Structures are given as C-alpha cells and as structure tokens.
Amino acid sequence: MASGFHAALKIAKKDILSQVRKKFEIFSMLLFALIAGLAFSFALPSALVEDLGGEAAIGAALIWVIVFFTGMFGFAPIFLAESESGTLRGLSVAPIPAWSVYIGKVIYGFVLMSLVEIFIIPVIQVLFGFTMFGEEPLLVVATLIIGTLDLAAVGSMASALTMPSESKATIFPLVYFPTATSGLILLIEITRVMATGTVVVIAAGLTVSLLFVALLAHLVAMITLSAGVFSYALSP
Amino acid sequence: MEIVGIFCVIYLWTTWIFAPPEKELEELIRIFFQHVAPALVSYAAFGVTLVCSVIYLWKGNLKYDVISAASIKIGLAFTTITLLSGMMWANATWGTPWNWDPRETTTLILWIAYACLLVYRSSVDDREMQAQFGSIFGVIAFPAVILSYFSIQIWDTLHPQVITGSGLQMGMEHGITLMFSMIAIGLLYILLLDLTYLVDSAEEKLMKYRMTRS
Amino acid sequence: MSHLSSEAIETTKLTRRYGYRVALKNVDIKFPVNGIHGLFGANGAGKTTLMRIISTLLRPHGGKIRVLGYDPIEESIEVCERIGIVGDKDLLYGELSGYENLEFYAGLYGLSKEILNVNSTKLTEIFGVKSWLHEPVKILSTGLRKRFDIVRSLLHEPELLLLDEPFSGLDRDTTEVFKEYLGEIRKSRTVILTTHNLQLGVELCDDYVTLRKGEVLSSGPASEFDGVL
C-alpha cells in the first residue's frame, strides 16, 4: 500500500508522462489561450483601454479571464479520459485513499495550466503593453501559483462531477463556472491591485495581504471540501 | 399547512398597509420588505440543500435528496425575487437597475450557480447517480452563498447596510414589519418545501412503479 | 473485523438499487477460499453489480458483505490490497509502455522495485508478452493488450481474483494460456469468474452460483449445473 500523497504524486507523474508524449491537450490549450487573447484585443481598442484605467488594470484581469476560460476547456478531460477509457476503475480499486486520486489530478492540472501560463503571460503582456510584475514580483508569482492551484482544484472536481452526466462536454462549464468564480474574483482583485499599485474596488482598510490570506483560505477550503467528498464520487 | 398559508398572506399584507412611508424613500420602503426576507431565506434554503446533501451522502436515503432538490428550486425562486426587487430599488434610487455592484454580482453568481446545479441534476439519468453526484455538487456550490453574504463586508458597495453591529438602523414600525416579513417568508418557504416534497416524492413513486412494471 | 474466515466472500441480504430498479435483492452467497467459483446469470441478473460491490466500487444499499474477512466499505484499503480485477476493458494507459504501466500500478500497490521486476518478468514470460514490454501499449493488438492487463492484475499477487467476462473477445491462444494459468493457481488462490460462455464456465469452475433478476436462483458444484439461467 502506498501512502496517500505518494500515490498522488505517482498519478500526477503518470499523467504528465502521458501528456509529454501525446501533447494534444497542452497544444490545444496554448492555442486556445492565444485565440482568447486575440478576441479580447478586438473587443478592447486602445482608446477604450485608456478610459478603463490603463493597460495594467485591464491586462491583469485579462490574464486571469483567459486562464479561467482555458481551464474551462482544458480541465474537462482530467477525469473524463480516465472514465471513458475505463482506467478510472484501476485507480478506484488500488489500495490508495480516494483523496489521493483527486490530489494527484489537481497536481497534474496545475502543471498543465502552469505551462500554458508561462507561455501566455509574456505574450499578453507584450500584446497589451503592460507588465503585471510591478513592484513586488515575488508576491505576483505567489499569487499566480496559488490561483492556478485553486483553479486546478476546482477544475479537477468539476471534471469528476461530469462523469455520470449524459452530456459530459456541455455540462462541464456549468459545473466549473459556479465553483471557480469565487476564486476568480479574488484573483482578479489581487492581481489588479498589484499591477496598478492602486486600490480599485476594495474597501478602505483592506490591504493586499488580507486579500492574499482570503485567497489562501479559499484554496484550502476548496481542496478540503473536494477531497472530503471525493470518495463518494469514486465509490458511489 | 393551509393555516400557515393563510397566516402568511395576512402577514404579507401587513407590510403593505401597516408600515408608514419612510421619510426619504416614502413608498419605496415597501420594496425593502419584499427584498430582505427572500434574500435571507434563500440563503437558508441553500443551507438546507447543503445539510441534506451531506446527510444523503452519509446515509443513502433518497428522501434527503428529494428535500435537497426541492430546496434548490425554492431557494432559486427566492433569489430571483431578491434580484428583481433589488433591481427595482436600484432603478428607483440610483437611476439604473444594474450597477455591477459586488453584492448584485455575487448574488447573480449565486443564482447562476444553483441554476447550473439544477441543470446538472437533470442531465444525469440514473436516479442514484443523480442523487450521489448532485449532492456532491450541492456541497461544492455552497461557498457561493458565503461569498454573496459576505460581499458587503469584503467590498465597498452601494448596498445599504441596515443590520449593523450596533443594531437595527430603522424606525420601530419598520422594524416590526421587517420581523413580520421574515416570519411570513420563512413560513412560506417551509410550506412550499413541504408541498414540493410531497409532489416530488409522489412523482418518484410513480416512476418507480412504472419501471418495475416493465 | 475477523480476518479468520473460511469464506472468501460472504454476503448477507445484500441489496443494491440501480435507478428505480433493484439490481441485487437480499442476496445470500458464500464463496469458499481457494478454487474457481462461477457466477452465472443472464444480462441484468446482477453479476457485475455483485462483482463491483466486492471490489469496493459500489456501496451496498442494504445487507452486509465480507471479502476475505474485511468490510469493503470500512476496510476498503485492506480489501484492495488483496484483490485483482480483470474486466472487458483493459486498465492500461495507451501512451505508456507495458513496463511503465506495470511500474505505475506497482507504485500504487506499494511494491518494491525488486518485486516489480521479479513478478513482471515471471508473468510476462508466462503470458508471452515479455518482448513487448517496452512498446507503447496503444500500438499493441487487442490480444496482447489483454495479456498485459492480466499480468497487471496479478502483479501484486492477489489472494482473490475477480474476473468479469475475462474471455470475451479473446483469441484462442490467449484463452488457452489463461485457462492453463488458472488451472495452476486454483488450489492456492480464490477466483470468481463470470462468463457468458457456459461451456467454458462449467469446464473451468469448481462450483457456481446463478443469479436471476438480482436474486440467487441456484448454486452447487459445477458438475451439477443445469444450464438454467
């Protein structure tokens, strides 16, 4: 019997190895992110961007929106592929705790999305002419990591929930959106504050660090909640 | 239960006739009474869904899943009333019905979240799977309620705060009317939940009978 | 919680619903330790449901079940350590090689590198797939994939083998090799086998249980099987 986290890492490694060879999902996610960026550039001509608070303010939000939507279509196969090929049964029947399957998939989703971000963030920054790394680049990177982990946690759970549904592909966004939005809002606020250096919508007295703590709390809550109920998804 | 229904109607009419027009807002205060109670009761309804979902996952008794589903529908109805009455107030007070204010936005997210939950449930054919996974989703969806409720604390909003730490910020008659509206809507919720539960479980029995005959 | 049980599987009034239907209704079954036990029945009789409950994939809605002395719900890890499953779909990851697949599962079952190598060498030799160990599974024929899948199920030396229609779609050679292997292990391991090929079932099994519409219809030594489903 393998310990829970150990098993999770093995599962993540297996998925990453498969993806390195297959490359399909990662490439389609990268292209999708690029297309989304392009679509936004049509919607936001430079004059409008100026009115809305400058490139930094828009760009920060834009990055998260693009990541969010790329996740909406990139996280769907995380459990669906296992379910359709039948291999999910192999994971369910292995002597590992149910939550380790979930956590392994979250790690994999995180790695996948991080690779997309490493590519798309510089591209968006160049296309829209701003930088999100402002004054405290470490804090921005930390937010990126936590935010991506948060979206991966939600995306993996949503993917698992689509398994019993009749119309799996169409139902995924409906499960993903409600659960991801709370995190998304926090992420956009934090990133925008850090990029522009000004407090836009937050109440006076709330600093960035407080928001960051809220984001961390959200991450912990989503992961704990999902890992807790996951055994009911693997053995109904 | 019919008695409760009658009481509800009496209480509801109290809000219209009994409470006097407020100084600044005059008749508009009436919207307030149709807005606050449905909002809070909808949060409670989704809370009931959370609790029943957890109990179903734990015990496996389909009865809890029927209650959970019924509560989603009624909660959604009350959230709709909350949004619409809120928009009427906003239009009257500030000129535009929708401002993308955090409270408005998070409540809209709440509405969409539970509407998605309903659609999700209907997309799962197997009744047991529908209950099992619908309950899991019911648990995961609850943070949206928390976000909506605490949105006024987290963000700077235009949304008025009448229930602050120091107590009710309103006149005596309004306070009483508010209390009555809370009781009325609360009772209305319980009544609707009971009726929906009866109808839904009857439907389930019918389905069961049809399928075992074939 | 006793693990000292003479029965491999013991169910008492086991019940499981499927939507509005009942898949298993108050089923009482005992499968003794060691030997090949057949589970027969028409489609929809409840065989697969029972197999899934035994392998911890489904929770019972009523009644009790013990697998090798353990409760598959409360002690699912203990049960999972001791069972191996083979179904109609193989549990292999196409992009990985046969060896990488076995390595992955060995990791999940907590097998050391040495045991992995010893067992995989031995089993792939028995089933004739050793030369294909380092090819990606997706290029292999169905027969070879199935053989690898059987190796996968045996890698951690399970006490109890659950075979749900293992011979369906199998070519003759693979069927023969598998039959031979089962014949060799029947004295030291427990095997539960479902199959639509009743001739093969009666030939291989020591005893049987027949299910019909979620209830036990008949049971006994394989030689006494009357062919009624």
Could you tell me which of A197, A1, A196, A206 has the C-alpha nearest to residue A97? Answer: A1
CA A141 to chain centre: 14
CA distance C145 to B110: 48
With contacts defined as CB-CB under 8 Å, which chain C residues touch B211?
19-21
pLDDT of residue A205 exceeding 50, the answer is: no
Residues 6+ apart with CB under 8 A from C26: C13, C14, C15, C62, C63, C215
Count of CB pairs separated by less than 8 Å, B with C: 17
How many other C-beta atoms are found inside a 10 Å radius of the C-beta of residue B157?
19
Q: Which residues of C touch B125 (CB under 8 A)?
A: 19
Chain B nearest-CA distance from A166, in A, is 6
Interchain CB contacts (distance < 8 Å): A and B: 90
The pLDDT value recorded for residue A20 is: 92
Q: Which pLDDT does position C98 carry in this prediction?
A: 93
pLDDT at B127: 87
The pLDDT value recorded for residue B130 is 92
pLDDT tens for chain C, residues 1 to 229: 445 567 889 999 999 987 778 899 999 999 999 999 999 999 888 999 999 999 999 999 889 999 999 999 999 999 999 999 999 889 999 999 999 999 999 999 999 999 999 999 999 999 999 999 999 999 999 889 999 999 999 999 999 999 999 988 888 888 999 999 999 999 999 999 998 888 889 999 999 999 999 999 998 898 888 887 7
Per-residue pLDDT of chain B (214 residues; tens, 9 = 90+): 666 666 666 666 665 555 544 445 556 666 777 788 889 999 999 999 999 999 999 888 888 999 999 999 999 999 999 999 888 888 887 788 888 887 888 899 999 999 999 999 999 988 888 999 999 999 989 988 988 887 766 666 667 665 554 455 566 666 676 777 777 778 778 878 888 888 898 988 888 888 777 6
| Residue A202 pLDDT class (50, 70, 90 cuts) | very low
CA angle B184, B189, B195 (to 5 degrees): 125
Q: Which two tokens stand for residue A32?
A: 């999708």
- Average pLDDT for residues A172-189, to the nearest whole number? 86
**CA angle, C29 as apex, C28 and C33 as ends, to 5°?**
150
**In terms of CA atoms, which chain C residue is nearest residue B124?**
C19
- What is the pLDDT at residue B180? 72
The pLDDT of A188-215, averaged and rounded, is 64
Contact residues, chain B, for C59 at CB < 8 Å: 60
Q: Which residue of B has its CA nearest to A202?
A: B155
Name every residue in A having a CB less than 8 A away from some CB of C: 1-2, 6-7, 10-11, 14, 17-18, 21-22, 85-87, 89-97, 235-236
User: C71 at the A interface (CB within 8 A)?
Assistant: no
A96 contacts on C by Cβ (under 8 Å): 77, 80, 108
CA B131 from centroid of its chain's CA atoms: 21
Beta bridge partners of C219: C209
The pLDDT assigned to A204 comes to 43
Residue A56's nearest CA partner among A191, A201, A203 is: A191
Name the DSSP letter for residue A206: -
Torsion of CA B90, B94, B97, B100, to 10 degrees: -90
What is the pLDDT, as a whole number, of residue B20? 47
pLDDT in tens, A42-78: 887 766 666 666 666 677 788 888 999 999 888 999 9
Identify from B58, B118, B123, B139 which residue to disrupt to test chain A contact, counting A C-beta atoms within 10 A and taking the largest count.
Answer: B123
Q: Which residues contact A143 (CB under 8 A, 6 or more apart)?
A: A187, A190, A191, A194, A212, A215
Residue of C220, C205, C213 lying closest to C29 (CA atoms) = C220
β-partners of residue C161 are: C84, C191
Give exposure, A51-66, as e/b (b: 16+ Cβ within 10 Å): eeeebbbbbbbbbbbb
* Kind of pairing between the strands at C35-40 and C207-212: parallel
Chains with at least 3 CB pairs less than 8 angstroms from chain A: B, C
CA distance A159 to A84: 12
Q: How far apart are CA C196 and CA C208, in angstroms?
A: 13
Pairing of the two strands C21-32 and C35-40: unpaired
CB C20 within 8 A of CB B205: no
* Cβ–Cβ < 8 Å for A38, A118: no
Residue B12: per-residue pLDDT:
65
- Asked if C80 is an interface residue toward chain A (Cβ–Cβ < 8 A), one would say yes
Question: What interface predicted TM-score (ipTM) does this complex get?
Answer: 0.89
List chains adjacent to chain B, taking adjacency as at least 3 C-beta pairs closer than 8 Å.
A, C
Supply the mean pLDDT for chain A: 84
| The pLDDT of residue C2 | 45
Helical pair B29-59 and B62-94, crossing angle rounded to 10 deg: 160
Of B119, B140, B155, the CB nearest to A225: B140
| B173 part of contact set with chain C, CB < 8 Å | no
Contact across the interface for B127 and C61, Cβ inside 8 Å: no
In whole angstroms, give the CA distance from residue A39 to residue A61: 15
Q: Does any CB of chain C come closer than 8 Å to the CB of residue B172?
A: no
Instruction: Show residues of chain B in contact with A157, CB under 8 Å.
Output: 140
How far apart are alpha carbons A92 and A7 in whole angstroms? 12
Can you list the pairs that C76-81 forms with residues at least 24 positions away whose Cβ atoms lie under 8 Å? C76/A235, C77/A1, C77/A95, C77/A96, C77/A97, C78/A95, C79/C55, C80/A93, C80/A94, C80/A95, C80/A96, C80/C55, C80/C56, C81/A1, C81/A95, C81/C109, C81/C156
Q: Do B128 and C19 touch (CB under 8 A)?
A: yes
Do A236 and B128 form a contact (C-beta atoms < 8 A)?
yes
Amino acid at B49: T
- Reading the block at residue C125, the tokens are 């030799």
Least CB–CB distance from A90: residue in C91, C94, C95: C91
Residue whose tokens read 């834009």: A62
DSSP B20: P
Sequence-ordered list of residues with C-beta below 8 angstroms from that of B180, at least 6 positions apart, any chain? B11, B14, B15
- The pLDDT of residue C1: 42
